[in-house]
Amino acid sequence: MEWNFLTAEKLATALSAGEVTSAELTDEAIARIERDDKAINAICVPDFDRARAAARDADQARARGEDRPLLGIPVTVKESYDIAGLPTTWGMPPHRNYIPAEDAVQVSRLKAAGAVVLGKTNVPMGLQDVQSFNEIYGTTNNPWDHGRTPGGSSGGSAAALASGFGALSIGSDIAGSLRTPAHFCGVYAHKPTLGLAANRGMVPPTAPALPAEPDLAVVGPMARTARDLTLLLDVMAGPDPLTLGVAHDVTLPPARHERLRDFRVLVLDDHPLIPTASAVRAGVNRVADALTDGGARVERHSPLLPDLTEAAVLYTQLLFSGFSGRFPLEAYEQLRTHAAELNADDQSLDAALLRGMAFSHRDWIEADSRRELHRHGWRRLFAEFDAVVCPITPTPAFPHDHNPDLRERRLDIDGVEYPYLDQLVWAGVATMPGLPATAIPTGRSPEGLPVGVQLIGPMYEDRTPLRLAELLEQKIGGFQAPK
């Protein structure tokens, strides 16, 4: 039997029934990686010897009667997570030999749940791109079209899942880094509510793995089905045992509804700052039609929706203010000089980026206060709706573009070029206020490329978009393996 594309849920059932062993699953996954990954380049740091040992341990544990959520299931891990004994480089050549001594907290949780870690997946340099290439490990290709990107920065994880290299993966997201690769590769991903899953050990080399909570950034699960996302999120969720975990446990509320016809959904396909390609718009409409057909209440407009233009500017400022915090003082002062020279009427995202990088602490506090107003607006909206459906990026996967200056790159949207970084505005809809968002596949573009959308839910009600994703999977189909 071909095991590589079965869900984690089905693999767990087969393992429990004695139909297959973890050693057999692991050997088959490794064989597939060795056969197919030369063309994809998703697995940048294989760990096959330890994976085989972990699989044998899992089989012995099951024979003793143990039953853990991921016992014996092969998985992959984004390169940016610390794994003791393996390099963590974030694709940055100066750190190619850095090897941490301890596992990231999420890697520890995977192992405690019984998962078998096959290896680490490729990323862009510094995790700062919606593509996945670097000088150390090279370029990861989209399994559907090797001339196109699988997305980033969790692109290696998405490509691995689409190629059958493990049943699950874990990634991270600050600018769509879970959702965009899922959209580009036709798999599922979930950006949890900000702070729901501890991220200690997901830090740049050689920074210490401290239990700090960075602004905007989250860690989260990737899978080939919505139910598997929930399975993995339950392993990942919970505060760091060194901080909030000393006194708090997590109990996520159940999904608001179990039936499609009970959901109230706001559907968006237009952003005021960037157009939506026809292929992505068709994916949004496919979901809207499935919701309507299933009896859900579907609206296309609401006066309760927070202003998307203001949200995009605020998101851009907060995002890039975090990047400049480690700049040398001289470089930061130059940014402040350039920002001061901007025309006050320039409200472009490019200007917002520069202003954000030049933020003072006072500027950041003011921006954070405006973010709280947006969060209040979202709470009001989610009193009337259960979820929001919208694009993840304006286009399907685009051709590789390795221009080192991201601000010089252009994104082709139905034949018209737009600034490359402007595509981040859709990711920011959920990221800026810290909302949970589930990326789901919706079908294929006319060129045969995967197209996904995101389902945004209320804060800390992650099970609501996850349940909606499961119901839509039943209605419109889900993951399909690349031909």
Q: Which residues are catalytic?
A: 78, 153, 177
Q: Is the peptide bond before 153 cis (omega within 30 degrees of 0)?
A: yes
> 416 pairs with which residues across the strands?
413
**Measured torsion, CA atoms of residues 284, 290, 294, 295, in degrees rounded to the nearest 10:** 40
CA distances 110 to 27, 114, 158, 226, 380, Å, are 19, 7, 18, 18, 36
Strands 264-267 and 387-390: parallel
Handedness of CA 325, 330, 333, 338 (dihedral sign): negative
Task: Answer whether 9's CB lies under 8 Å from 225's CB.
Answer: yes
> 223 pairs with which residues across the strands?
168, 188
Task: Answer whether 367's CB lies under 8 Å from 314's CB.
Answer: yes
End-to-end C-alpha distance for the chain, whole angstroms: 19
Instruction: Locate 322 and state its tokens.
Output: 């975090």
Degrees, nearest 5: CA angle 215-466-10 = 120
229: closest CA among 463, 471, 450? 463
Q: Is the peptide bond before 225 cis (omega within 30 degrees of 0)?
A: no
Rounded distance between C-alpha atoms, residue 20 and residue 10, angstroms: 11
Task: Answer whether 116's CB lies under 8 Å from 26's CB.
Answer: yes
Rounded distance between C-alpha atoms, residue 70 and residue 164, angstroms: 17
